[in-house]
Structure formats: structure tokens, C-alpha cells
Amino acid sequence: MLFNSIDFAIFLPIVFLLFWFVAQRSIKWQNLLLLTASYVFYGWWDWRFLSLLAFSSVVDYFVGGMLHREENGRKRKVLFVTSMGVNLALLGFFKYFNFFADSFVHAFSFFGQEFSARRLNIILPVGISFYTFQSMSYAIDIYRRKLTPTNDLIAFLAFVSFFPQLVAGPIERASHLLPQFFKPKTISYQMMSGGLKIMLLGFFMKVVVADRVALYVDAVYNNVGLHTGWSYMLATFFFAFQIYGDFAGYSLIAIGTARLFGFDLMQNFNRPYFSASFREFWGRWHISLSTWFRDYLYIPLGGSRGSKARTYSNLFTTFLVSGLWHGANWTFVMWGAIHGTYQVVERLAQELNFPRLPKWLSIPLVFVGACLAWVFFRAATVQDAFHIVGAIFINPGHGIHVGDIGIMAFSLAGVFLLLGIEIAVEYFPNVSLLHHRWAPVRFATILAMLVWIITLGVFDGSQFIYFQF
């Protein structure tokens, strides 16, 4: 079920009314309602994949309990490996089987050997990377003795499948979200108002910005070889705001929806395009994933505790794996490798005491570097990505393929309006029009955003980009 669909517009009020006015007297009934609603929400795409979600959740629930009770170190390791093995096996089979099979065949072909491998007609379950990582973190934290498991199966299943953030995050930690399923909740105007305002901004970023610029981005990136370098530059610039508006918009809708039910989800984006370094960029972009990889991969690898060479290797490996997490395609691996290289070079420059650039120069440089990496993220193949990069830097051509002037104008208007909102929040945090102390200002802002959404929004039922991961 998509947030930007009629189905969700009907689904959400029904669940909201049942949660607050039918099941409000019992936390257990509220959790059971949320669990049922979440499985309906997820099963709307394909009910067959509910078994995967339930299976991985139940395994981690029971393994978590046994890990907590078991004192024998060897047995604890066996239980831990069982949990990790089940989750990674499901993720690996459904997401990466064909990728590794094809890569294996291509590797043999490179050396002149003919080899064939059978491809499977596998449908990728929506959001499997997100709920798998959320469930895995529960078992990992229990194994590390940093978390006490719950004895409430319904609450745990609701935690893993919580529908606002189930398919595209934020990837929540059990230590933050799970206790909220045991706290009594009270409906209030401030809670509903705050949640709806966050959702409004999320829908604006999705349908006015992301889906509008996608029209130009798709026209260019889906027809590689027919455009000039200047057109690729503009399409890449637009894609930077498409993926930001799409993913940050989803996160805001998820956070706002959760707030309607009295839940607090972590912030997932913090205006990343105002970053003055790539390290800062990853402290602002997809925060739940970057902190997950930091805590569960980078630090266990050794972090920065070893030699400089080992630190660089750990950094690069973390971003390489992060790229592969995003998708079973070498384009994502290249994207991760580019960001890993950025991190290593930046760390090396810092250790060599290179002078820091002023923000007016470093912020646009980081944005340009991020856009260069986005070329590989968006391109269909690595070959297409190199063609686009070559066209931009070597043969830019003599002009931009504009296409529909109206699409271009509306796309630019949406991007610059979002930039204006972001600049205001970044540099004038006390000036918040959506939360202004004067009611007329708040009302005018909400009305203006609704008008923009209705008149300039694209309502074609397009799914969110990160659903494919």
C-alpha cells in the first residue's frame, strides 16, 4: 500500500479511529490492532510475502529469548549465528541470488570460458532490507547484553512490522521503539497537529518535488545516448532532489503517521545538502542506516582503533557493503565505492592537516561530489553511468534538451521552493512557518502547501524509490 494512494487515504483513518476509540482501554488490544493493520498494509502488495516477515520475526523473537537466558558462550554463539544466518539467507536469496549468479557467469566469460547458471524468477519482497536489519539489530543487541528481550510476542511482531516505517524506514532500534509499545498513550491536539504537519511536508516533498522532477530525470536517464552532457547535468541535479524529496518525504510521512498513534520515530534526514564534508553528509542522510552500519559493521570491523590503513579499509568496506545493501547491481556497488573513497580521502586530508575550506566553497563541492555519485546510483548500468560522466566532463554539447517547458518550469519551481524551506530551517531555525506562534501564519502556510500539492503535485501512483531496496 502506497502512502500516496487512495487506499492509504481510506486505510489510515479507519486504523486511527479503531486505535483511539475502540482499543484505547488496553495496550494489548492496541498492539494487536497495529500488528493486524501492519500485516494488511504489507500484504496489500503481495500477501505471500507475509510468511517471510512473520518467519524472520518469530525466529528473532525466540532466539532473542534463548540468547538472554543462555550463559554458555559457545551455545550463545550458535544461537546468534542461527539468527543472523536465517535473516541473511532470506535477504541473500531473494535479493542477491540472480546478481551473484550473473556475476559468476560474467567472471568466467571474462577469461574466455563459457559457463551458464540458471536464473530464478524471483520477486523481491518489498522492504525486506529494512525489516531484516531492524529485526537483526534486536538479536545483536541481546547478544551483546545491551538489551533485555521482551516476553510479549504480539508487541515484538508489531515492532518489526510497524506499518508507518515497515517498507522504507527509518530503521528503528528495539531499544528506542519497542518500549513504546508498552507505554499508555493519550490522544491530544498537539500530537495530531504535529503529526499531520509533518505528513504535509512529506507529501509536498514527494508529489510536488520528487515526482515532478522525475518526469525529466526519467526522460533523460532512460534514453542514454540521445542527450547532451548539459542535459545529463540538469537531470543529475534534478535526481539529487528527486531521491531526497522521495526518501526524506517518505520518512516524514512515516514519522508523522507514527505520531498520530503516539509513537516517536527517529529523524532520518537533516538537510544533507548543506553538509560541508562527506562525513557530515552521512550524519545527515539516511541517518538510521548510516548509524546502523556504524554500530553493527564499522565498529565491529575495528573502527578507527587500529592502524591508519586498517581504518581506511574499514571505512571503505562499510560503504561498499552499504552500496550493495541498496541493490543487486554493480551501479550501487560503484556508488558505495565512490562514497567510501570520499571518506578515505577526507580522513587522509584531515590527518595531513590540510587547511579546511570555507563553508561557502565546501558545501557546493560536497553537493557536486554527491551528484557525481548519484549518476551511478540512477544509471541502469555501469556502462551508462560512465557514458553520462564522460558526456558531462568531456563532451557536454551545446545546449540542454528542455522538452516540455511546463514540466521544466514546474520542476524548477518545486526545487527552489524546497530549497527556500530548507535554507530557512537551516539558517533561521527560530522562524518556522508551519509551527509559527501566530495562528494566521500557520494557517496561511498550511493552505499554501495544500494548494501547491493539489495544483502542482503529480498523482500518478508512483511508488517510492526506496521500496526497491
- CA 183 to chain CA mean position, Å: 27
271: nearest Cα among 283, 256, 255, 258 = 283
Q: List Cα–Cα distances, 40 to 16, 36, 84, 160, 163, in angstroms.
A: 14, 6, 27, 14, 9
Which residue is associated with the grid cell 531492524?
134
Which grid cell is 382? Answer: 555501469
Burial class (CB in 10 A: 0-12, 13-18, 19+), 65: middle
CA–CA distances in Å: residue 58 to residues 70, 131, 157, 168, 407: 18, 13, 8, 21, 48
| Positive or negative: CA dihedral 432, 434, 435, 438 | positive
Please provide residue 182's backbone torsions phi and psi, each rounded to the nearest 5 degrees: -115, 0
Catalytic residue among 227, 286, 326, 339: 326
- List Cα–Cα distances, 130 to 194, 243, 415, in angstroms: 26, 17, 28
- Going by C-alpha positions, the residue among 215, 211, 39 that lies closest to residue 127 is 39
Spell out the residues 6+ positions from residue 67 whose beta carbon is closer than 8 angstroms to its own: 76, 79, 80, 83, 139, 142, 143, 149
Distance CA 348, CA 398 (A): 38
Q: How far is CA 43 from CA 29, 113, 125, 171, 362, in A?
A: 21, 44, 10, 20, 45
Q: Are 204 and 3 in contact (CB under 8 A)?
A: no
Catalytic status, residue 227: no
How far is residue 424 CA from its own chain's centroid? Answer: 24
User: Between 229-260 and 211-221, two packed helices, what is the crossing angle to 10 degrees?
Assistant: 140
Q: Which residues contact 450 (CB under 8 A, 6 or more apart)?
A: 200
Active site residues: 326
